[in-house]
């Protein structure tokens, strides 16, 4: 199943699946034209192939040209993308293409600001599963365009024992034991902890990754010292541009940040469309 195409088709159906009354009245006969997407502010681009696909699904014979790649810095006033073809399709695809580009570029731009803040730090920045329902694959790709890394994509590709798992199992030790009995030996086991006692239990259980959840800086430093490279240490919770350096200074290996996706502001873009010829 082509996940990205299905996401786009759903968005197109949401916007014009029952027709475009305005454009169909103005264009009762086929007419060709050109549309250009222009940056109204400077930003980091993400989602350019999604925008292309929007128009290709509406008009397979349209011509698309992008002047930047995902991850590129686009300056205010620059043309990001150009599409030529059936005018009705351009009008139908305008808002959907812009919505994707604005949302995904917003994530990439915010992510880049975090990455730039961390340039001198030997810490890996990752996203989380706090994504817009249905858009996870696209939003995580936007995080990569911004220069950060993905945590697990879903529940299937990484073992992360969280507080509710521990509550159900009875303890960290019991939860890890149950997972080890059934999971592949190729899978790393990560455990979320919030106290130093839980850190010690996780280390004794032999897990490969320990997530320090919402700990203060002193607690994180103490946890890192106790773990002493016996596991990868991830910090999570209360991560912002203001706290990045302080968190990294505790010695953690990874910082996971939900804000990359759920706090991103959409980028300001516009699309200008012109018709070829006069009827």
The residues annotated as belonging to the active site are 95, 130, 162, 192, 213
CA separation for the pair 251, 55 (Å, rounded): 47
Conformational region of residue 256, where left means phi above 0, alpha means psi within -120 to 50, and beta covers everything else: beta
Pairing between β-strand 79-86 and β-strand 232-236 as defined by DSSP bridges: unpaired
Structural tokens at position 31 = 């007419």
Conformational region of residue 3, where left means phi above 0, alpha means psi within -120 to 50, and beta covers everything else: alpha
Closest among 98, 91, 47, 94 to 68, alpha carbons compared: 47
CA separation for the pair 177, 40 (Å, rounded): 54
């Amino acid at each position: 199943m082509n996940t990205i195409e299905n996401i786009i088709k759903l968005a197109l159906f949401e916007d014009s699946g029952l027709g475009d009354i305005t454009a169909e009245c103005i264009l009762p006969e086929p007419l060709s034209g050109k549309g250009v997407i222009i940056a109204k502010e400077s930003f980091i681009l993400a989602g350019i192939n999604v925008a292309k696909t929007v128009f290709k699904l509406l008009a397979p014979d349209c011509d698309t040209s992008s002047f930047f790649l995902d991850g590129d810095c686009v300056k205010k006033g620059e043309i990001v993308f150009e599409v030529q073809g059936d005018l009705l399709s351009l009008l139908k695809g305008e808002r959907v293409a812009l919505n994707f580009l604005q949302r995904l570029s917003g994530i990439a731009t915010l992510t880049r600001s975090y990455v730039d803040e961390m340039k001198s730090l030997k810490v890996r920045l990752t996203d989380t599963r706090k994504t817009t329902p249905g858009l996870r694959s696209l939003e995580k790709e936007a995080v990569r365009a911004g220069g950060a890394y993905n945590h697990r994509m879903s529940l299937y590709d990484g073992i992360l024992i969280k507080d509710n798992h521990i509550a159900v199992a009875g303890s960290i030790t019991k939860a890890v034991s149950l997972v080890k009995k059934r999971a592949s030996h190729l899978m790393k086991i990560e455990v979320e902890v919030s106290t130093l006692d839980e850190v010690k239990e996780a280390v004794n259980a032999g897990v490969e990754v320990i997530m320090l959840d919402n700990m203060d800086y002193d607690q994180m430093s103490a946890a890192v010292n106790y773990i002493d490279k016996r596991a990868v240490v991830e910090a999570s919770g209360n991560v912002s541009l203001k706290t990045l350096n302080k968190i990294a200074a505790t010695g953690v290996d990874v910082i996971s940040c939900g804000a990359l996706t759920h706090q991103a502001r959409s980028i300001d873009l516009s699309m200008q469309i012109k018709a070829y010829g006069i009827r």
